[in-house]
Amino acid sequence: MPPIVNAQEITKAFGANPLFQNVSFTISEGDRIGLIGPNGSGKSTLLRILAGEVSPDSGEVSFRKRTRLACVEQDSRFKSGATVRSVIESALDLSGVSGSERGARFAETLGRAGFGDLDAPATELSGGWQKRLAIVEALVQHPDILLLDEPTNHLDLPGITWLEDLLEGAAFASVIVSHDRYFLENVTTDMVELNRIYPDGSLRVHGNYSEFLEKKEEFLHAQSKRQEALENLVHGEIEWLRRGAKARTRKSKARIGKAGELMGELADLNARTRSTTAQIDFSATDRKTKRLVELQDVTCTMGTRALFDGLNFILTAGMRVGLVGPNGSGKTTLLRLLQGDLAPTGGEIRRADWLRIVYFDQTRTLDPDVTLRRALAPDGDSVVYRDRVIHVAGWAARFLFTGEQLSQPVGRLSGGERARVLIAQLMLQPADILLLDEPTNDLDIPTLEILEESLIDFPGSLVLVTHDRYMLDRVSSIVLGLNGKGGADTFADYGQWEAWQAQRSKSDAATTAAISQTQGSPTSAAPAKKKLSYLEAREYATIEQRVEEAEQLLQAKRAELEDPANAMDAPRLVSAQAALDAAQEALDTLYARWAELEKKNG
């Protein structure tokens, strides 16, 4: 079967420098293609070309007839006043879906996404839920190809797992720009890297990320051998030319021509393989204090909800803490408590005297009109780094910026380049503690690896919030997990926390299943033992009957949803789906309460 999309020898440039040249790219049924490459290599631009939003300078992109594409941009944007419901309904309007199919698609897609309030304003959702909404907005259009640009940015770890499961079970093809290495490992069937080190501008490997790394290593090794052989050949030809080779004979002319070809190939190889990396190295103070921050019975509430309650934790010198938890569990709030921007609702936070804390705020932005020169060196033409004066051009070069870019407005930089500017600003501030809130957003994989090494070597203390599970594994020496329900616990590493989460979910499911199996034989409840209070004993005596009534209600709501009379009425279908969800939630709550009372009753 021919591919869905076939792009042949496409080239795109902005200004004098091409992003990529003569790149060929195909998308076939079932492909889940991970697209990677250094910042500025043109990944997002290639997605826009595939989506038909941007035209290539040369080359051709052809599509199979009636191909439906949907694209999820890096930054989610919704109209003012739009709600979750209206965003999805507008997407359904675009796809031309009507009648019963419209209602079914609406209910099915939103049900999988986990939205509780369909009338919540889209612009007031957290970054993670806005990203989910943008993905769902694309899904309801039933695309043949889904294009995703950094989809894991702003998603919490459960959200990333949700997206992984969604893509693995999807019928559509997908192209995913991502720097999340575990995500690429778990999801992709093919990997493509845009990079000038390859003769054709890109390397495609069938397999996931680890298989790609193996094939890339083989290719680069072979290319290095070819480069070494070329250098020896060119050296020999240069020596021959220096001896005064005469071009009178046909043989001599052919050899001179061949020498020119070899020199050209070597020059091209040298130009393509010349690489630089950002030099990231955070500065620490010479503090000798062991205990830096101590949290004693710290409680923090937002409205009526406790983010964490009775938290006890000591941050000591040299500790590297990975802070994990679902969106809304209080990770950023805890960082702001450590920084001193917020005061706890209860408990006490003790800090060592003269403590120097440097905070990377994920919402921090740069003035788009300020030049790169002023963003890197706001007080002049040089910076002071570790007691050394460095000219702004040299400082810029550490972060892979050229001298020509210094007069360029920051607003014209890519997301990864702006992230490097923010890191450069942090490096000028000596710190006892680094508080990093999602520092990996928009960074390419080579820069991520440099950042990881720098954080591992940083002699001070570190608290890191990131959705990048690979970085968490490499950098953190201890993991502090927030469960989103007021609780917190510590773990040896991210893997232990993930295993604990999975085990807890499995135990909850097993308890619910065991209780459900007892519903077949209507037996009277056992008399309450002394472990139950008087009110709990009365509740326990009637809970089996209430579970049976809740199950009957759930069956009635399910029958109502499946009633053919509702199939052509979208509002009634949505209402029936909401009623079914509410009945299911009420039954689950009763099961959970029954398990609590059973356990307490002994």
**pLDDT by residue (tens digit) across 504-530?**
666 666 666 665 565 554 444 444 344
pTM for the predicted model, two decimal places = 0.69
Give the domain ranges of the chain: 5-213, 221-273, 291-499, 521-601
Rounded to a whole number of angstroms, the CA Rg of the chain reads 29
Are the C-beta atoms of 360 and 434 separated by less than 8 Å?
yes
Phi, psi of 145 (to 5 degrees): -135, 130
521-601: CATH class: mainly alpha
Query: How many Å apart are CA 60 and CA 58, to the nearest integer?
Result: 7
> Domain 291-499, what fold?
Rossmann fold (3.40.50)
7 - beta bridge partners?
25, 61
Q: Would 5-213 and 291-499 be classified into the same CATH topology? A: yes
Q: For residue 125, what is the DSSP state?
A: S
Query: How many Å apart are CA 229 and CA 451, to the nearest integer?
Result: 35
Measuring CA to CA, how many Å separate 235 from each of 223, 231, 306, 598? 18, 6, 72, 84
Are the C-beta atoms of 178 and 152 separated by less than 8 Å?
yes
CATH architecture of the domain 5-213 equals 3-Layer(aba) Sandwich (3.40)
Are the C-beta atoms of 202 and 25 separated by less than 8 Å?
yes
Low-confidence ranges of the chain (pLDDT < 50): 521-530
Measuring CA to CA, how many Å separate 118 from each of 106, 337, 407? 11, 32, 46
Q: Tell me, rounded to whole angstroms, the distance of Cα 334 from its chain centroid.
A: 21
Count Cβ neighbours within 10 Å for each residue of 366-395 and write b for 16 or more, e otherwise. Answer: beeeeebbbbbbeeeeebebeeeebebbeb
Phi, psi of 417 (to 5 degrees): -65, -40
Are the C-beta atoms of 326 and 484 separated by less than 8 Å?
yes
**pLDDT by residue (tens digit) across 469-496?**
888 888 999 999 988 788 888 888 888 8
Per-residue pLDDT, 597: 73
Per-residue pLDDT, 323: 93
Per-residue pLDDT, 255: 55
